[in-house]
Amino acid sequence: MTPVTTADIDAACARLKPAAREVYRLLGRGPARSITPALTAAACAMEPGTAAQHLEELAQARLLTTASPDRALVPCYRFPQAARLHARQLPAADERVCSVALERLADWTLACARAAQDLLTPAQAALARTLPVPPAPPVPFTDATGALAWLEGQHDNLLPLLDALTGHEKHTMVWRLTDAFWPYFHRCHPYELWTAAHTRALVAVCRTGHPAAERQMLLAGAAGHAASGNHGEAVDGYTRAQAAARAAGDQRDEGRALLGLGTARLDSGHPAKAAPLLRKAIVRWTQCGHERGVSLALTALAGCSLPQDPEQAIRHLTRAHETLTAEEDSHHAACALALRGHARSLAGYHRQALEDLSRARDVLNHGGGGPLEKARALEFTAATHTRRGDAPAIARPWYERAAAVYDRFRPTEAAHIRHQAGLPEPAPDTTSVPPGDRPQRAGTRETAGPAGQKETAPAGRPHHTSSRFDEDLELRLVSGPPRYARSTDRPVKYLIVVCEHGDVIGYLWANDEDRAAGWCRRESQGGHAFNLGQRWVAALRNAKRRGLTPVQALEEILDTSDARLPSHIACPSFLDAPDLQALKDLAART
């Protein structure tokens, strides 16, 4: 059991080796909430392997609990509240040691975040590249997906780190860290963190007297308000940034402010007010030769043309997509492509629209796309199938997936999609084993989905229902739940599943070639993993029943994962295993 009294914790600490005890003291007095060997190595000035050993010793002493792993399946830990309070009350042999550990942690976090920024949003990192980056060990990722996963893994660490740095008057580091986390804010929309971090950063940058950085924080903070629907605060921030850019004679930043103002007007339902602002942004950026900026403004301007003039929107988006592709901005190029698919759909070019949307979804799913962009691409795909006159059963899964993604951050839009498509509202999942996992008798009225959501039989098939069992029943519909194949010798894609305490309980895997998918529980988690795993088994059965391929099933599960539930997905994108046996070997490890 985890020690809960001061005496218990004192006894556990007394049994630690001196080096592990010092790691416990430094980490406990530090700001980090999600602790990995790499983070510990940076903060405590040691090799990652040594740090991993000390963390394992602390975990064995129950002074740390295991939390979600990062993309590379490196162990991640958290302090129980009692242990953290205890560590903070330990006498400090030298306060300077704790201060230096904080500086090392901040330097490491900035170096990793800057590397992620260069991979994910290189154009936005123009200001950051003018400033030195602290030396650090190799970053724990090699591609855009890994970079976004690392940033997401620092979600719980960022605000405590900013507050600790503010307390030590490290104001430059506060705004630089906030700026470096822009890809995470922009792609994943953690609204509260986005606005809270930029509020702190704006105060910090005003204390350092850096006008360009102040404009950057105003613009990025306003974008957070706009994304969360707080258009009044967004307009105020963009207006202040525009005035500051004019005073500095900075056409690029003035264009960014105009783009923000135009987009805020568009998102609040005023395209006629948005268009002049976007055209002004195009003029400013054309004057200073910022072609990528022109393309972003054209993408927004296309939104003003829809649905009245889809042909005009197509022309704007074709130009924007070509330029953004040439600029190697794959994320915004995919967004332009998805919107062009929507415009083509409105213009009646349904085949070309679906081609655009398929290409856009592929980039967004495998290149670190954010939930908003993914949800829109799914929604546009559903609407295109509807406009083309396809059977409702074809469009319905796309609407369902779009609504499920919107549920996580824009529930009003999710409700609008369900109402428009005639979908039922989802039932809340408050149990580890939803109703759909309970045994069903032939002839019961419905079969529940992965979150307790009722689903009727596929259209066009006989479905006789009754509460009486002496009437005619259509038994062939309930002869057994639909399942994907349970084995494959080919490479598999998989997702990591954790329980509410952050412990890994198993893996969901899929292979489209063999039409195979399944749940692979972690053996060391025993019956707990088995019980929680039934939810994911039901999710796969539900996806199979609706005609999704195995990989599509995993995509839907990833899109709709909710960390508030008793078990959820712990990685932001697919991982790869050479074969199913390799994944089973991983699950067998203790």
Q: What is the 3-state secondary structure (H, E, C) of 465-486?
A: CCCCCCCCCCHHHHCCCCCCEC
Residue 224 has pLDDT above 60, yes or no: yes
The DSSP bridge partners found for residue 516 are 485, 511
Specify the long-range contacts of residues 320-329, CB closer than 8 Å, at least 24 apart.
320/295, 320/296, 321/295, 323/291, 323/292, 323/294, 323/295, 324/292, 324/295, 324/296, 327/123, 327/291, 327/292, 327/295, 328/122, 329/123, 329/292
Residue 434 has pLDDT above 50, yes or no: no
pLDDT digits (tens, 9 = 90+) for 102-142: 999 999 999 999 999 999 988 888 888 888 887 777 888 88
Q: What is the pLDDT of residue 533?
A: 81
Q: What is the pLDDT of residue 465?
A: 30
CATH number of the CATH domain containing 38: 1.10.10.10
Alpha helices for 228-270 (secondary structure H)? 231-248, 251-267
Cβ partners under 8 Å of residue 172, min gap 6: 204, 208, 210
Residue 73 has pLDDT above 60, yes or no: no
Amino acid at residue number 171: H
Residue 98 domain flag: no
Residue 236 domain flag: no
Residue 114 domain flag: no
From 34, 61, 93, the end of a domain falls on 93
Residues 464 and 319: their CA atoms lie apart, in Å, by 54
* φ/ψ (deg, to 5) at 507: -140, 140
Per DSSP bridges, beta strands 575-577 and 504-511 are unpaired
Residue 506 gets the label, from left (phi > 0), alpha (psi -120 to 50) or beta, of: left
What average pLDDT does the segment 356-380 reach?
Answer: 89
What average pLDDT does the segment 416-433 reach?
Answer: 70
- How many domains does the chain contain in total? 2
Residue 516 domain flag: yes
Residue 563 domain flag: yes
Residues 558 and 570: their CA atoms lie apart, in Å, by 9
What rounded mean pLDDT belongs to the chain?
84
Residue 354 domain flag: no
Residue 172 domain flag: no
From 37, 65, 93, the end of a domain falls on 93
- Over its C-alpha atoms, the chain yields an Rg (Å, rounded) of 26
pLDDT digits (tens, 9 = 90+) for 498-556: 887 777 889 999 999 889 999 998 878 777 777 778 788 888 988 887 788 899 999 88
Residue 417 has pLDDT above 50, yes or no: yes
Picking from 501, 497, 538, the residue whose alpha carbon sits closest to that of residue 521 is 497
- Structural domain harbouring 508: 492-588
Q: What is the pLDDT of residue 142?
A: 87
Query: Distance of alpha carbon 457 from its chain centroid, rounded?
Result: 33
Residue 464 has pLDDT above 50, yes or no: no
Cβ partners under 8 Å of residue 423, min gap 6: 396, 399, 400, 403, 417
Residue 206 domain flag: no
From 93, 125, 156, the end of a domain falls on 93
Give the pLDDT band of residue 428 (cuts 50, 70, 90).
low
Q: What is the pLDDT of residue 473?
A: 30
